[in-house]
Structure 1
Amino acid sequence: MYILEYGYFKKSATGRRIVMTDKYRAIDIANYILWYAGEKGHEGLTALKLQKILYYVVTGYLKKTGEFLFNEKIEKWRYGPVIPSVYHTFKNKKYGLIKKPISNFIEVEGKFVADPFNPNNIDKDTQTIIENIVDRLIDCTAFELVEKTHKEPAWRDYKSLILESWDNPTYTKEELLAATD
């Protein structure tokens, strides 16, 4: 069995899904945010707004639990924090709305089939943290959230490097803990 994971194949020797060593992947949390926004009556989120809400979910979770929600880097880009794997997943949407979670694709008997997102795969405590943060930020525009992230020292102090460089600095744990949500 193979799992198609954003351009990568992983093989399970037992024919079952590979057990991830991290609690979640960034796309799992992004999918939950999209699902929850839909449940609350929102038509969808832009990729930019999703990135900013995801950033604040990561910082809120880290502050509450002392643990990282997923093991993927968060980079400092021109418009604020970005999780590259989520960016590449949704970049074709540009400014359009992402209306629902995406499915992963798994190989079953030689064919790729959709493995739809299931919100119940996120534990209840994590759901509560995500929902509280989404509820606080969902009515902000994407650019209000960009402005909010740009006011934080973790981005502001690196502004010239971010705007003039091809390399995107990565947020440190200390910077994530210092974020205001």
Structure 2
Amino acid sequence: MTRAIDVAKYLVEKYGEMSAMKLHKLAYYCQAWHMVWFEKELFPEDFQAWANGPVIRSLYTVHRKQFLVNSTTFQAGDSGALSEDQKVVIDKVMSFYGDKTAQWLSDLTHREAPWVEARGELPPGAASETVIDKGSIHEYYSAL
């Protein structure tokens, strides 16, 4: 099964160095649209509703304290583990979201129901490890 670190590796190998925050948001949209188009998750890891948007804890652990990430950051990843269909989804997501800034992507997630619902009544900037429900992600993006 494809892991989030494999997707991260593919993203930075193909599209180059980027901020860690941008990587998490792109991985989030890759997961969302893969679930919509193929009715199954791209990878099993969950996103948590952090203050700056969706984050995968296991990826964060790999790049902690790094602003920028690249292919050497995710040495344990294997982009070759992705199927051609998975790469097509990632590439389509990148064609739409790839030129956006990390802040733009973060702001977008803050307006969308899956992150908003997972955050609940938390004040802005408050820490949270609440999982963003995959069912909520699928339902929201399927309706777009």
Give the structure-1-normalised TM-score: 0.69
What does residue 40 of structure 2 align with?
Answer: 67
Give yes or no for the alignment of 1:152 onto 2:119: no
Give yes or no for the alignment of 1:29 onto 2:1: no
- Structure 1: runs of 5 or more not aligned: 1-22, 39-43, 105-116
Q: 1:162 to 1:171 in 2, by over 3 A?
A: farther
Higher strand share: 1
1:25 Cα deviation after fit:
1.2
> Any conservation in 2 of the 1:76–1:162 contact (CA below 8 Å)?
no
Alignment of structure 1 residues 72-111 onto 2, 5 Å: 72-93=45-66, 95=67, 97-101=68-72, 102-104=74-76
Letter in 1 for 2:100: C
1:88 Cα deviation after fit:
1.1
Q: 1:119 to 1:78 in 2, by over 3 A?
A: same
Letter in 2 for 1:103: Q
Could you give the per-residue CA deviations for residues 7-33 of structure 1, whole angstroms, max 9, x where no partner exists?
Answer: xxxxxxxxxxxxxxxx11111111111
1:160 Cα deviation after fit:
3.0
> Any conservation in 2 of the 1:162–1:168 contact (CA below 8 Å)?
no
Seq. identity, %: 26
What does residue 134 of structure 2 align with?
Answer: 173
1:162 Cα deviation after fit:
6.4
Structure of greater relative contact order (alpha carbons < 8 Å, 6+ residues apart):
2
Letter in 1 for 2:71: K
3-state SS of the aligned residue for 2:64?
A: helix
